[in-house]
Structure formats: C-alpha cells, structure tokens
Amino acid sequence: MSLVPAAAEKNTRSAVGNEAVSSLQSPVKRYKGLILSVLSGIVLALPFCDGRWWILSWIGFVPLFFALRDKTRLQSFALSCLCGVVFWSITIYWLIHVTLLGQILLILYLAIYFGIFGFFISGLSTIDYRLSTFLFFPSLWVVLEYLRAHLLTGFGWALLGYSQYLNLPVIQLAALFGAYGVSFLVVMGNLAFYSAVSFQLSAFSKIKKCLAFALSLSIILAYGYYQLSRQPKAESRKLFKISVIQGNIPQELKWAYGSQAFILDRYIRLTKEAALDRPDLIIWPEASNPGFLGDASDARVNENIFNLAKEIKIPLLVGSVVRAERRYFNSALLINEFGLVGRYDKLHLVPFGEYIPWKGTFKFLESIVPIGDFTAGNNYTLFSLSAIRYPLSAKFGALICFEDTLPELSRDFTREGADFLVNITNDAWFKETASPYQHLAASVFRAVENRLPLARSANTGVSCFIDSRGRVISRLIQNGKDIFVSGIKTQDIVLSPKTKSLYQDIGDSFIAGCFALICFCGIIRNRKP
C-alpha cells in the first residue's frame, strides 16, 4: 500500500488549517493599528472621567506608539487623529448637552493636534533612540498643547498634566514649570515604558531610557514630598474666613421669566445662613444675580442684594451680568454695607459661547450653539478687603468661569499682588457629568503654580477650597454629593507671606525651551548617517 496519497492528504489538511488560521489572523493584523489607536484614546481619556485613575495616563500613549511602528507619516497622522477623536469624544462627551454639531466640529479640530504629534513621531521602529530623541517626544507634545490653548482664541481644557491633579507629589512640579511641565513628565513616562517593553531595543538602550526617567521622577517626587511637608511659621500665618454659596439653580430656570424671586430668595437664605459663621467674605457663583446690574427694570433685584450686604455687614462677591452703555459684561462685583466697592469684568470670554470671534465669518454658528453677546473687560482688577475689614489686609483676583484654565491670567493676578484667588463659575450647562471635576483640576493647578490658596463657588459644584499645594482641603457636600446640591461651605484659608514660585518668575518660558529642544533634536536626527 502506497503512503504517498496519505502523506499528500495530510499535507493538504495542514495547508488548509494554516490557511484558515492565516485568514483569521489577517483581519487582526490588518486592523491592528486601528485597534491600538482606539485603545490608546480610551486609556488616555479615562483619568479625565475619574481623576483617581491618573496612573493610566503614564501608559496611555504606549498602544499608539506600537500602532505607529513602520508607518508612513500620512498613516501615522491618520492613526493619531483617530486616537484624538476617541480621546476627545470621551473627554468632552458632556458638551452634547449644549450642542451636538458644535461638539463634533470641536472634536475633529482638537484631534488634529494628535495627528500632528503622530506625524512627527512616525516610524517608531526606525527612530533614533538617543537621549536627545527621548526628550523630543514630550517637548513636541507640550508645544502642541500650548498651541491648542492659544490658537483660534484657545482651548486649554484637559491638558495631559491635569489628569494628575490628585497625584499631589507630582503636581508640585507645576510651581516650577506650570501644568505643561507635568504634561512633559507624563509623556516621558510613556516613552520610558514603551522603551522597556519594545523588543527592538537593546538591553543597554532600554536601561539608559528607564534610568533617565527614573532619575527625573525621583528628583521630582523628592521635591514634591518636601513641598507638601512644608508648613508656614505660626507667627507668619494669617487666617481668612470665607463662605462659598452653591445655589444649584437649574440652567433652564436661570433666565426664565418669573424665576427672579425664587433665585434671589434662595441666595438670600443661603447667605444669611453663611453669615452665622461670621466669615470675612461671602462668595456667590458666576451670574448668580438674577437681574442685570445697570438695567432699570432690575433695580428692585439689585436693591435687595445691596440691602442684604447692609444687613449682614459682611462683604459679598457676587457674579452678575452688567449692562453699561448698551454693552454687556460678565462681571464679579464686590459689595459691602456701603455699596459697590469694586467690579471686575471678565477678560477672556468663551468663544462661540459668550461671543462670536470674527462675526462676519462665523455668523452661522448662532444657530448651532447658544451664543451670548458680551464685551471683554480690559483691566486686571484686584479686590482689596483692607478698607472693608480693617483688622485684615488682603487682596484677591476673581477668575470667572473658564478663566481658571488660563495659567497666564492667574499668574498676572498674582504678580499684581493677590493674596489668594477666587473662581466663580456655572457648570450647570453640562449636567451631572465629569465636566465639573475636569474644571476643578484646572483650579488645582492654578493654586500650585502661584502658591496661593483658591476658593471656588460654583452654581452646581464643585464648590471647595484648595490650599497652595493643590490639596482640596474642604468641599461642599450634601447627602454624599458635591454637584447638583445647594448649600454653603465656610473655611479658614491661610494667607502666608508671599513666596514666589519659579513659575511666577519665568511664566511659560518652559514652552520656549521645549521648542528649542525640538529644533535641536531635529538637527541631530537629520545629521545622522
């Protein structure tokens, strides 16, 4: 009996089996880059959904790095854009409560920055793994974040560094180089991890990259723990008591006809409750005044607020829309028993929310998003309480709405002489989502960068107090919730002698250093034979 037919049959079955396995593997291999890009976007976004997952940011780019191996620049751009679309779709999903089309357009625009990042780091399997290139990746990312925060009026939301706002030792780096310094470190950590697990690197090269990152992280952690352990001397400490009001006024009710009495009654009741704690200052949220200051039709509403300050004899910081000379301002008003003491008009308005940039070009957007018609202020107004509460001398700057996402604005207030910062805001637009916590993260960084305490009064939360090291020392909580509840919170904040941070001195010079490093690394790579 011949064995050839049997052997042939066996080979045929084997070939068929291999072909079946190959047919199953080929789609996976074909879509591997897409799968890894999507995975990277998800992992990077999760810490912005819950800050307790901050550790994921340190490995979030790794799947994308693997996806870009041996890819052309165009392929890398496309895959990185996909990663960006996934990241921003998860991170700012709450914008759908305001505008769906506007959300889609914003996501597509923001994803381009991911694409540019991928374009310049394409071909990871053939990359030069010298230490100069190890610094190129985080420098490129930081410069792109800075551009995103400033181009086309800027969108400084969800910087990579903000994902670490609960990682207190690491965020002390912000006092030196701002939030961008933390972003730099996180990208460097991703690259170190990628280098450690990449089979295309020699053991020596892996050790070199990991040691460089480990040394940098160790120095930063040592600095962070040292700063967290520092306490101002007892004789130099000055306590300042503040009460914040959280009205929890639904957005659909805020400007509804006939709602003025209800809104004003709630704020008056909460303010009188806070006055029992005898604070030095009581803070209302952004646009909490249900009327317009300067509008004759709202004279009764404004009179009630001024009478309230006269009755309790405690200064009020009230968020209000101000009408002056047919223009409208989003303002913060300091009122005491004698009347209006000071007024700050919001300097940086929200584009396509409070105004339309280049109105002639983007007028059609009025039908897409609810756009106000506000005028920006032009002065860095500091409020002084020395003349009001004579035993104390304190100055503070008020950041309205998303102004706390602008590092340079807080820095300018600090350089003008602020002893503490205040953020008044209204995040009711975005419902019970991750938005208020993402907003809180920005406030934490402003406190660390300037080494100043910060008080937040938010219409629907999070209303809280942050110390100069970024610790949320207390927050308003009712029935286990800190958003979409009403109430008051009173806290002593520590006004210490002004200690300048390096960031106050150099500002965003770190960005210029990153740009110079990009140019240097580009020259080095181009000179490689």
Residues 99-128, buried b or exposed e (16+ Cβ, 10 A)?
Answer: beebbeebbeebbbbbbbbbbbbbebeebe
Helix ranges (H only) for 378-483 are 407-415, 435-450
As a whole number of angstroms, the distance between CA 361 and CA 254 comes to 30
Please give the structure tokens belonging to residue 48.
Answer: 């912005």
As a whole number of angstroms, the distance between CA 61 and CA 70 comes to 17
Three-state secondary-structure class, residue 387: coil
| DSSP per residue, 268-279 | HHHHHHHHTT--
As a whole number of angstroms, the distance between CA 330 and CA 376 comes to 8
**Region of 339 on the Ramachandran plot (φ > 0 left; ψ -120 to 50 alpha; else beta):** left
Q: Catalytic residues, which ones?
A: 286, 346, 401
| DSSP per residue, 308-323 | HHHHHTS-EEEEEEEE
Three-state SS letters, 208-257 = HHHHHHHHHHHHHHHHHHHHHHCCCCHHHCEEEEEEEEECCCCHHHHCCC
Asked if residue 144 lies in contact with residue 511, where contact means CB atoms within 8 angstroms, the answer is no
As a whole number of angstroms, the distance between CA 71 and CA 126 comes to 10
Please give the structure tokens belonging to residue 131.
Answer: 């230490």
Beta-strand runs (E) in 65-161: none
